[in-house]
Structure formats: C-alpha cells, structure tokens
C-alpha cells in the first residue's frame, strides 16, 4: 500500500495526470517468460486458460497473447463494467483479461478507498460458479 499512498498524494484529484504517468511507466515494457508461457497455455487449451484476473495495470499479458497469434484478440475489462464482462465471458472464442485495479486508459484504482469500490455486480459475475467451472488457476508474478 505504500505505492498507493504515494500515488494518492502525488496525483490527488488529477486522474488524467496519473493516467499519463502510468502510461509512461509501462511504455516499451515487454512480456516476461511467465506472460508468454500463459499465452501458450491459452493458445493450446483456450477453454480452460482463457480467463485472466489480474491486479496489474500494464498490458504485458495482452502483448503476450497477441504475440501467441491467437485467432481472436483478448477482451480487456478494466473499467469494472459487469455487463461487458458477462458478455465477454459468453464469447468463448476469445480470452478475457479482467484488470481489477484498472489500467492507465480507464483509470488506475490502487488506494484502499478505490479498491473498496470495486462494484458488487462485478464481484457477483466473478463469483458465478459457471465462470470457474472448467478453469485452471495459474499464478504469474511475485
């Protein structure tokens, strides 16, 4: 949460500036081996590996999925739109990346106050047994 405190102090009431700074921070970064490994799992078994739930702001998972030459680009839900998430989950042809803490385009949510506001409707969709019925859980990162 130290990062959250710093960001809240530095970018208080200036979401556009925060978004720009986060974009600069992630610009030019390339996916690591874990991102590419996940993308290959998704490519070979898209039914079980098509849902990513992440707290990361960057686009490294999406870049790795693009590099894996999947038939369809990933749906990215970073604005907590539960209707869009439900629609994306119903489209079984494409991977779905859910960014719980947002991203630089839609806004970053990282402070305890912001995280507490993750909509209940989104939580209900993610808690749905159907979403995880055939899922395989893979943890990538620290």
DSSP annotation of 103: E
Give the model's pLDDT for residue 6. Answer: 64
Q: What DSSP character marks residue 99?
A: E
> Tokens 């019925």 map to which residue?
133
Q: Each residue of 98-120: pLDDT tens digit?
A: 888 888 777 777 777 777 777 77
User: Is residue 122 predicted with pLDDT exceeding 50?
Assistant: yes
- Residue-wise pLDDT for 54-91, tens only, equals 888 888 999 999 999 888 888 888 877 777 887 887 77
Beta bridge partners of 97: 52, 76
Which of 8-12, 15-19, 55-59 holds the top average pLDDT? 55-59
Secondary structure of 33-48 as H, E, C letters: HHHHHHHHHHHHCHHH
Burial tier of 131 (Cβ tally within 10 Å: 0-12, 13-18, 19+)? middle
């Amino acid at each position: 949460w130290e990062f959250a405190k710093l960001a809240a102090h530095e970018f208080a009431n200036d979401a556009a500036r925060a978004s720009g700074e986060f974009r600069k921070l992630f610009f030019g970064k390339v996916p690591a081996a874990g991102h590419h490994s996940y993308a290959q799992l998704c490519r070979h078994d898209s039914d079980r590996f098509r849902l990513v739930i992440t707290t990361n702001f960057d686009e490294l998972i999406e870049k790795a999925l693009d590099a894996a030459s999947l038939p369809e680009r990933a749906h990215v839900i970073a604005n907590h739109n539960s209707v869009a998430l439900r629609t994306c989950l119903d489209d079984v042809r494409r991977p779905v990346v859910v960014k719980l803490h947002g991203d630089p385009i839609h806004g970053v949510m990282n402070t305890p106050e912001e995280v507490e506001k993750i909509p209940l409707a989104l939580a209900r969709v993610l808690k749905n047994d159907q979403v995880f019925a055939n899922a395989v859980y893979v943890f990538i990162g620290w």
